Amino acid sequence: MATNLKKLIGLTTLAALTPFSLAGGQALSPREALLRSMQRVFPVNVAAIIVQRDPANEGTYQTVRVERDRGGRVHHTILQPLRLAGVESVDDGERSKIYFPDRNLLIDQDSPQQSPCDADWRINLASQNYSFKFGEPVRIAGRNTLCVTAVPRNSAMDVRRYYIDERTYYPLRLESVADNGARTVFYDTKDIRYLASIGASRFKLQPVGTPQTLVYSKPPTLNSRSAYTKMGFQPLMPVNMPMGFRLQEMQLSEAGRWKSVALRISDGLVRATVYQWLARGSNFNVKSIENSTPAEYRGVRLLLVSDLSPRLREQLLSAFIERAEAQPQVLLRIAQTQSPTDPLGLEPTTLVPTLTRVETLRAIGIEARKPQSPREPAAIGGSLLRRH
């Protein structure tokens, strides 16, 4: 018994020390190194200054101070640009809070860390869609790195490079490289220190006075049936998504007057969300949302949000509309047309005037056209509302 206990303690200690005992990390495969960097918890306390893309202005960057302790608690403070300076967020594992001092507004929602870590699921999926290899390492913020290059098996996707601290496996830089050589840096580390400890007060927000507080709970998980019950329509879900994307979870995103189905999809490395909601009474001019591509199909509006390029977002979103083209009855199950003989609104032909493809295009002011290049999706029965 005592021997087994000693073995257990020994193994636990070994597991805890493994990240530091592997000199240079070269004993790990690229896949394993990437998996370690996907974890929510790292064996070190981190204080870093990073730059990342400004959400409101693609192509510009914001500077963020990051504090993350071994327990997974995180504190972000935006330092630049000036219009965002002072915005803070804290995630203590229970609640995730964001404070906007200029408006004295506090968003208080369940921590996403309450959901199980999906690193294993993602790396397995990523292994199907990418091949991994070590690239040329560089020094970032004074740290030696491992460069894990993820080469997509689908040529439409970009190569992604992950620069990971070779001792702690903390991610220091993420960038993508398009087939034309265009390089996009998603975030980069300018300074990083591993602290012995971080005070607990760093993970408590201290708003001025009494802020206006918006409280949100974890969005409930839906299946196809419950989505229909909650939303009044059957969400579009392609059988086979392009570029190796898979559905990770379907959730109900509900706030105020706006309610939508949020389909979390991923190819293992890239995350995306496809929101779908009924168009009734809502304005669809959502061009102000960065990293998004909207579409509309027979009264259902779709919005894909992801850090993918606009071309890839359109291609991915097209699959959802092609699904509707193939099985129009799916979308025609609209709850507003319930009748005594069809309490669930499952009689497609009696529910909504069926528009032809041309009528649909005319109704939204877009003419059908042939794709201009092999990579461009064809205009289809629904419409992608193009943004450039």
Partner 1 sequence: MNCKTAQDLMSAYLDRELVGRELADMRAHLGSCQACTEEYEAMSSLKHLLGGLQVPEPTPDFEQRLVASVIRSRPDELRTPERLPVRRYNLFAFAGIAACSMALTMSFLSASGRPDPVAAPVKDKNIAFEVQRDQIYATGSDPMSGAPVISASDYGDQP
19/256 Cα distance (integer angstroms): 46
Contact region with partner 1 (CB under 8 A), list: 2-10, 214-222, 337-345, 367-375: 214-222
158 touches partner 1 by CB under 8 A:
no
- Pick one of 28, 33, 44, 87: the residue that binds partner 1 (CB under 8 A): 87
Write phi, then psi, for 4 (nearest 5 degrees): -60, -40
Considering the complex, state which of residue 174 and residue 300 has its C-beta at the smaller distance from partner 1.
174
Least Å from the CB of residue 144 to partner 1? 18
350/228 Cα distance (integer angstroms): 18
Token digits of residue 188: 């980069």
21 touches partner 1 by CB under 8 A:
no
Write phi, then psi, for 286 (nearest 5 degrees): -110, 30
- Mask: binding to partner 1, 175-204, rule CB under 8 A, as x and -? -----------xx-----------------
343 touches partner 1 by CB under 8 A:
no
Considering the complex, state which of residue 300 and residue 379 has its C-beta at the smaller distance from partner 1.
300
162 touches partner 1 by CB under 8 A:
yes
84 touches partner 1 by CB under 8 A:
yes
> Interaction with partner 1 in 40-79: which residues (CB under 8 A)?
40, 52-56, 62, 64, 66, 68, 74, 76, 78
Strand 130-134 to strand 105-110: parallel, antiparallel, or no bridges (unpaired)?
unpaired
Write phi, then psi, for 214 (nearest 5 degrees): -110, 120
100/86 Cα distance (integer angstroms): 7
Residues 160 and 183: beta-carbon distance below 8 Å: no
352/345 Cα distance (integer angstroms): 10
Contacts of 364 (CB under 8 A, 6+ apart): 296, 383
> Interaction with partner 1 in 217-236: which residues (CB under 8 A)?
218-219
38 touches partner 1 by CB under 8 A:
yes
- Pick one of 111, 129, 145, 276: the residue that binds partner 1 (CB under 8 A): 111
329/349 Cα distance (integer angstroms): 8
> Interaction with partner 1 in 226-285: which residues (CB under 8 A)?
253, 255-258, 262, 264, 269-271, 273, 275, 282-283, 285
Considering the complex, state which of residue 111 and residue 234 has its C-beta at the smaller distance from partner 1.
111
Spatial CA neighbour of 150 closest among 168, 133, 175? 133
Least Å from the CB of residue 258 to partner 1? 5
